[in-house]
Amino acid sequence: MHQALREPGQRVAVDWLDRLQGVYADSPLAGLLQRACADLDGSHDAREITQRLNLQFYQPIDQRARQIIRQESVSTGVLVASSPWVAVDLLLVVWRNIRLMQRVAVCYGLPIGRLSRWRLARHVLRNIALAGGTEVAVSALSDSLLSGLLEKLAARVGQGVGVGLYSSRLGHFTLDLCRAVPVAEAQMLVEDYKGIIRMMKERLGQLNDGRL
């Protein structure tokens, strides 16, 4: 499908939709996909099929998956930012990111075993490295948030925000792997980044107020 989209008017293989429906044959999403593909056939080009699937099949699934990604990313980032134990951070990042991948895959009706595990593992390892010592995204937090106790923990807060954003990237990477066609919203990841930073500022601000 991705190759067909590079050439305007390009047709997809006649049995492509049949094979896609076969993947979801035993999934709760089978009915939704069948309705989305009801009147699609070989006369429709790749762009038309992509638009139909994005609008009628993937749109509600994407919304659920993005909500999970934002929630998990914020929770992971806040845990790292508020934890004084580096070893615990590493375990949390690995465990929560694996859970994030599993939850996103379930949204799309696909078992985690069908995904490219080595590619996902690479992203998890990057998260581990980030949690272990990289200081990023401190400037995304307001001066008031970094006052008092959190000012002393600015590096930890920066690591937490960085891990949260990277977890979001991992979630979107999984989302892309689970889709048969490219996402319709090119700015989806950027929008979620902004939402995660805003939610983390609120959560960490509440945490700071509770400690004062």
Q: Which residues of 158-193 are buried (b: 16+ CB within 10 A; e: fewer)?
A: bbbbbbbbbbbbbbbbbbebbbbbebeeeebbeebb
In this structure, is residue 38 part of a structural domain? no
In this structure, is residue 124 part of a structural domain? yes
- Rounded Cα distance between 88 and 157, Å, is 15
* Residue pLDDT, tens place only, 14-67: 678 888 888 898 889 999 999 998 888 777 778 888 899 999 999 999 999 999
- pLDDT value at position 30? 93
Note the pTM of the prediction, 2 decimals: 0.76
Q: How many residues does the chain have?
A: 212
In this structure, is residue 198 part of a structural domain? yes
- pLDDT value at position 150? 46
- pLDDT value at position 202? 87
- Rounded Cα distance between 59 and 38, Å, is 17
The residue among 70, 42, 40, 68 whose CA lies nearest residue 55 is 40
- Rounded Cα distance between 122 and 137, Å, is 22
Amino acid at 172: H
Domain count, the chain: 1
- pLDDT value at position 68? 97
Beta-carbon neighbour count of residue 53 at 10 Å?
22
Residue 164's Cβ-side half-sphere holds a number of Cα atoms within 13 Å equal to 35
In this structure, is residue 147 part of a structural domain? yes
| Spans of the chain, pLDDT less than 50 | 1-6, 131-150, 152, 212
| Domain interval for residue 84 | 59-211
In this structure, is residue 149 part of a structural domain? yes
- Rounded Cα distance between 125 and 147, Å, is 32
In this structure, is residue 182 part of a structural domain? yes
In this structure, is residue 141 part of a structural domain? yes
In this structure, is residue 103 part of a structural domain? yes
